Amino acid sequence: MSTAPRPDAPRRVPATAAQTSAEHPWPVRLLTAKMTEYVNRMPPVWVEGQVVQLTRRPGASTCYLTLRDTDVDMSLPVTAGTRLLDALPVQLEPGARVVVRAKPEFWPKRGVLQLTAGEIRPVGVGELLARIEYLKRVLAAEGLLDPARRRPLPFLPRVVGLVCGRASAAERDVVVTARRRWPGVRFEVRQVVVQGPDAVPQVTAALAELDALPEVDVIVLARGGGSLEDLLPFSNETLVRAVAACRTPVVSAIGHEVDSPLVDLVADVRASTPTDAGRRVVPAVAEELAGLAHTRDRLRRAVRHRLDVEGDRLTALRSRPALADPYRGITERAEQIRAGRERARRALSVRLDRAGDEVRHLSGAVRTLSPASTLQRGYAVVQRADGHVVRSPAEVSPGDRLRVRLAEGEIGAQVTEPAGETS
């Protein structure tokens, strides 16, 4: 059974926004009425921003301006009385940073939220410098200003990325200087707004685009000189953090030597001017050729010096006696060997003579003590038949056969008398 409400049934309107649904929505007039009621309850608020558009018609009592956030692409329309702008100490121009005390208002017929200014105060240079100094301390505490983070530039980049203003002198200075030093250098140029409220998002987007290109080896961020207000985008926190986050080395060439935006402190290299950046990103052909010629000369002189030294050493070696008379050493050794052999021969001869004398002496002693020598003197050796030497007559009996050894032979004998008897 269908539960859809009848066409003639009264429509129920939810009391709050949380109670609305597809079956029970709010009409536009109710939503705008509630928004108007809510906005009207809001008190006046102080808000800071940058004036990007200012419309002031002659004779009109109301001026219209657009107040934009300094970091992101957000803006609100603001209405202000003509006398309020006339009372300012300086004339309000687009690009100026202001603090506005305004009451939010919602216009239901157009669905527009705008601010009605009751007071406008331009942000002075001193206050801007104080804010920059505070941001500098914050970045230093995070380590983004540490010199150890800085990367060296490549010796010869394949492609140089360049972020600069449209048809600017900074672009010309970088490109002309770099090509004068190295004619073959290639550039990938991104022309953007470098001043005003659009500078930060455009420069940030160009940096990200160049950083994503693999052939880009270094990025140059260049802008000519200007006032503190003109260079404020390059001290913006969003842009400074974008430079610090780049994977590609970044060269900051913002303003002149005296200018020092915060982007100089986080970049890998700070160039004093765009011209100086052109000198830093590429080497000079003339200087490299001169250095190469100088190195070749030094190498040639070093080789010649080494050859001279080695030639002198070779001459000294050739003049030595061993090389002047190569056989001298052999001759000396041969003489030493011959002398040694002669000494050995003489020593051996003397030794043999002494040994011969000793042999003859011993031979004479042996002959003197020999039994044969005794026999030569007329003695004889008497032996029994069994070979026993007879030393006493009692050792033999009559009839025993004896052998008598003489100096020149032996004879046989027989005992005929008893022991102790003599003939």
Domains and CATH numbers, the chain: 23-123 (2.40.50.140), 150-283 (3.40.50.261), 374-414 (no CATH)
pLDDT score, position 126: 59
All residues at 6 or more sequence positions from 17 whose CB lies less than 8 Å from its CB, including other chains: 26, 34
Per the prediction, the chain carries an average pLDDT of 85
For 309-367, how does the pLDDT look when each residue is reduced to its tens digit (9 = 90+)? Answer: 998 888 888 777 777 777 777 888 888 999 999 999 999 999 999 999 899 888 888 87
First to last CA, the chain: 193
pLDDT band at 403 (very low <50, low <70, confident <90, very high): confident
pLDDT tens digits along 224-257:
877 777 788 888 889 999 999 999 999 999 987 7
Q: Is the pLDDT of residue 2 over 70?
A: no
Check: pTM over 0.85? Answer yes or no: no
Q: Which long-range CB contacts under 8 A does 103-112 form with residues at least 24 apart?
A: 103/42, 103/43, 103/44, 103/45, 104/39, 104/42, 104/45, 105/39, 105/40, 106/32, 106/35, 106/36, 106/39, 106/40, 108/29, 108/32, 108/33, 108/35, 108/36, 111/32, 112/77
Average pLDDT over residues 95-106: 86
At residue 423, the pLDDT reads 45
The yes-or-no verdict on residue 124 having pLDDT over 70 is no
Give the pLDDT confidence score for residue 303 in this predicted structure. 94
Among the ranges 149-163, 191-205, 224-238, 381-395, which has the highest mean pLDDT value? 149-163
